[in-house]
Chain A
């Protein structure tokens, strides 16, 4: 079946602009995660959605970052007033409700000039 998809695959923006990154999880997966991976670094947790529960936003680095998940499916990560330090690969993953594997998308490479 289809895996997790993310769009765009690459995004180049100017400092100060807003960007939206999209994630389409695997159908039926109730859990959705966003991570950030800087060059040569590990994955940094950003936000976690589980079913209809309030999202766990504890990893968001600043109030410029926000995310939504509509209809329990598609999610959008929004970064307002982008800064150069926001440049990274943003990865989305989905999973089932039980402790289970996370299925990752290919990521969106964000470059802020």
Chain B
């Protein structure tokens, strides 16, 4: 299976700044990669999906990039707000249709 690495340290950022999270993986390149948000005591919520032939995907203040050469995805939150504070998980397709492997997540804390 894949080894998926996400920043284990919390990312503390000031409101209005851009938060950038990293997801690195080893072994095979997945056909697609997803990012989820998880709040304490809740299940993850889907944010974005990016396919291997896409370099970048945007949704409102969120942007995801996917570099299959570097085996890396970057997740950006622009103009961050305190409501963006949560843990963000990357998830890679595991070679079986629909099956995902999740990273451990990176906690983001946005302070006013």
Contact = CB atoms under 8 A, between A and B. Distances in A.
| Chains A and B form a bound pair | yes
B35 to A, nearest CB: 10
Contacts of A35: 102
Interface string B70-112: 0000000000000000000101011011111111110000000
A56 B99 contact: yes
Contacts of B98: 31, 33, 48, 50, 95, 97-100, 102
B49 A101 contact: yes
A49 to B, nearest CB: 10
Most chain A CB inside 10 Å of its own CB: which residue of B43, B44, B49, B105: B43
Contacts of A56: 96, 99
Contacts, number: 62
A3 B111 CA distance: 31
Interface in A25-75: 31, 33, 35, 41-43, 45, 48, 50, 56
Given A43-B89, A56-B96, A99-B31, A104 B101 contact: no
Interface residues of A, number: 25
A43 B44 contact: yes
A61 B91 CA distance: 20
Contacts of B104: 41-42
Contact of A48 (B31, B49, B99): B99
Contacts of B93: 99
A102 B101 contact: no
Interface of B: 4, 31-32, 34, 41-46, 49, 89, 91, 93-94, 96-105
